[in-house]
Chains A and B, each alone.
Chain A
Amino acid sequence: MGDGKAIFSVLAINHPGVLLRVSGLFSRRGFNIDSIVASSTEKPAFSRLTIVVTGDEATFTQLTRQLLKLEDIIKVEVLEPDECSNSELLLVKVHAAGAGRGPVIKMVQTYGARVLDIGESSITVEMTGQTEETDEFVEHLERFGILEMARTGINALQRGDLTIHDED
């Protein structure tokens, strides 16, 4: 069985330490986290973790069962990256001085990104999108010189009307 990626969408009780419990479980049992996002939800009592994991089907099943053993975890949905709405946020500061600014701004427009800040010799850009598209954008920016960047990791929701609150 080959390794693939899955997006774990995890509904948790909004207790302090829940992120530590989840990340501790991953490291203790040797599961690999590509990215993890924790955020509040429409219900203040709950928080939502979106975790991208590399592994095979057996790993994903075992991980789901282990997550559900944690007292603070309410629900776990495993989403296929290609079959859900997912997006991540990129902030990147690119070298752009004088005549070099034009091509950077053109690239930003091509990818539907947005300029957040312009410095004396740099431009800070924001982009949201799927991981592959973001990777591609970053690759193009590299030739201008990336000064620093930060990515949030993937956030995801199921497609259609279904939500994590629905019964399976």
Chain B
Amino acid sequence: MMLNGSDVLVECLLEQGVGTVFGYPGGAVLNIYDALYKYRDRICHVLTAHEQGASHAADGYARATGRVGVCIATSGPGATNLVTGIATAYMDSIPIVAITGNVSVPLLGRDSFQEVDITGITMPVTKHNFIVKDVNDLAPTVREAFRIAQSGRPGPVLIDIPKDVTAAMTDYEPKPSLGAREYQPPKEERLVMALEKMESCSRPLIYFGGGILSSGAQAKLLEMAEKLDIPVCSSMMGLGGFPPNHPLWLGMVGMHGTLAANRAAHQCDLLLVLGARFSDRVAGNRSGFSPNSEVVHIDVDHAEFDKNITAAVRLAGDLKEVLAKLCERSTKMNHTEWVKSVVSCKRKVLANSNDKNALPDPLYILQTLRALIDDDTIIATDVGQHQMWTAQHFDIRKPRTFLTSGGLGTMGYGLGAAIGAQLAKPEGRVVLISGDGSFHMNLNELTTLASYNLPIVVLVMNNSVLGMVRQWQKVFYDGRFSATDPHRKTDLVKLAEAFGCKGMRISKNGEVEEVLKSAIAAGEPVVVDCRISPDANVLPMIPPGGTVDEIIENM
């Protein structure tokens, strides 16, 4: 049938099973928005306050569901406003398709109004990107974009569509979604090599990352850890991939990881790396990290092998499939003494809540929240101290329930991500844990919460300083607090109300439980201003470039 480019685009989104898109209209995408109006019964467009919010929402939608998130922006500033969100998704391997309008083909390259070379700009932060200059290429391009975003190691793909292409007519035939490309099966000789290493070691440790979640391999991971009696730690991106109450669980490894996980990484003789990439936040000192181990690295992305740490065995493939094969072919083992020794380093951190009139302890807020919500609740965070406290102390119990910007460390990520997750799971509960620094970056999206009446609970850990940077200034810059005390006068309760949300405040320990309960029960968007001390620190901490030998446990 003959359709214009905009209708073709929306038809192709429907082919892919897309029910929700996040975006912001503008001149170059007027035709696309006209099609979205026409198809409004079949596809829901969520209008954000800013394109960056739309990009994070698409990301949050993808992280919460595993499906491709979609965002749309107009040309020029609309497109550039997506860039932070695209880069965030790229660093954390999140599948999104970003669609941008551009000026008409004859106007390209002439510095036309709101023209920007967005494919050029996003080349380093996308898996791939396209500019479609002929409407006949549009449908195949959209299909290919979705395929690329989901295949292998997932990631963002951008499609730039000039305005005249969105108006031009073409013959459209619906086609079923291509889905992801088939994974290459793991090589037999590599499987054998990995099994040999696993069977001959005496102090094995599993270190996994976000790859376990992208692959959906958490059940196989648990099975293998139990069968082979291997203690387990993860990067922040892996949280939710292993039950935190399990006796083999050591916690997060790396800069703000647990002593137990970092000690185990230092002492193990075999490091089994599953869908993780030895970022500098895990292996701050590449030559000093896990110095006594051989590495068996299993990942879907060949380029991760030997990039940061050299592996003895490199096993490429889909983790779910690889772990299933390894489980099936390995024999049951016991590492009782080793497990006992590493588990003995686990520390239970107690929140300080005895003084009911003292400023609330952030850990007490997190522990109270944990007790009030169920395991399916999706927790989004921003970036900073609150994020690390959440990663360390808020037991994430299920995959895809922890949405946080790991690789890029994007302050301002959380509110958009929470919006995406709430729209992906309208019946589910979403809580954003933020800090006052991050929250100020993109709080404009409160208007989206109010417009769509999204019952998201936003906890702002408000210490009135830029806490993480300030903590570094305290430790590494002799307490010279340069530009980390902004003296803001924002009244977060009034701010929430001004946006049409509910505002609450927690000023002391004694108020924590009651306020959290009423925030959760509100059934509407709520911002809770949690007034915490500026001197609360994130500990333990391994200084950048350091090893577990330099771990700071108190300050």
Contacts and interface: CB of A to CB of B under 8 A. Distances in A.
Interface string A11-24: 00000010011001
Contact of A71 (B119, B127, B301, B303): B127
Nearest to A28: B124
Contact of B306 (A20, A58, A70): A58
A66 B120 CA distance: 19
Nearest to B153: A69
Which of A61, A68, A69 is the most central at the interface, judged by chain B CB atoms within 10 Å of its CB? Answer: A69
B148 interface: yes
Contacts of B124: 24, 28
A85 B137 CA distance: 39
A62 B119 CA distance: 25
Interface string B119-152: 1100110011000000000000000000010000
A159 interface: no
A79 B302 CA distance: 20
B128 A71 contact: yes
Interface in A66-98: 66, 68-72
B307 A62 contact: yes
Contacts of A58: 306, 310
A65 interface: yes
Contacts of B120: 20
A61 B306 contact: yes
B305 interface: yes
Interface in A136-165: none
Interface in A14-73: 17, 20-21, 24, 28, 58, 61-62, 65-66, 68-72
Which of A17, A28, A66, A68 is the most central at the interface, judged by chain B CB atoms within 10 Å of its CB? Answer: A17
Contacts of A28: 124
B303 A69 contact: yes
Chain A binding surface, main DSSP class: helix
Contacts, number: 29
B313 to A, nearest CB: 15
Given A28-B124, A71-B127, A65 B119 contact: no
Contact of B302 (A17, A20, A65): A65
B305 A65 contact: yes
Given A17-B119, A20-B120, A21-B123, A66 B128 contact: no
A17 B124 CA distance: 13
A69 B123 contact: no
B161 to A, nearest CB: 16
Which of A62, A68, A71, A72 is the most central at the interface, judged by chain B CB atoms within 10 Å of its CB? Answer: A71
A77 to B, nearest CB: 16
Contacts of B306: 58, 61-62
Contacts of A66: 303
Nearest to B128: A71
B321 to A, nearest CB: 20
A24 B303 contact: no
Contacts of A24: 123-124
A71 B123 contact: no
Which of A28, A62, A66 is the most central at the interface, judged by chain B CB atoms within 10 Å of its CB? Answer: A62
Interface string B259-274: 0000000000000000
Nearest to A62: B307
Given A17-B119, A20-B123, A24-B123, A71 B305 contact: no
Contacts of A61: 306
A120 B307 CA distance: 57
B258 to A, nearest CB: 31
Contacts of A72: 128
A70 B127 CA distance: 7
Contacts of A70: 128
A62 B307 CA distance: 7
A21 B413 CA distance: 28
Contacts of B307: 62
Contacts of B303: 62, 65-66, 68-69
A65 B152 CA distance: 14
Nearest to B124: A28
A65 B300 CA distance: 12
Nearest to B157: A71
A58 B119 CA distance: 31
Contacts of B127: 69, 71
A108 to B, nearest CB: 43
A68 B305 CA distance: 13
A71 B302 contact: no
A139 to B, nearest CB: 39
Contacts of B310: 58
A155 to B, nearest CB: 26
Contacts of A71: 127-128, 148
26 contacts: A17-B119, A17-B123, A20-B120, A20-B123, A21-B123, A24-B123, A28-B124, A58-B306, A58-B310, A61-B306, A62-B303, A62-B306, A65-B302, A65-B303, A65-B305, A66-B303, A68-B302, A68-B303, A69-B127, A69-B301, A69-B302, A69-B303, A70-B128, A71-B128, A71-B148, A72-B128
Interface of B: 119-120, 123-124, 127-128, 148, 301-303, 305-307, 310
Given A58-B306, A65-B303, 9 more contacts: A17-B123, A28-B124, A65-B302, A65-B305, A66-B303, A69-B127, A69-B303, A70-B128, A71-B148
What are the nearest 8 A-B pairs in CB distance? A65-B303, A71-B128, A65-B302, A66-B303, A28-B124, A69-B303, A24-B123, A24-B124
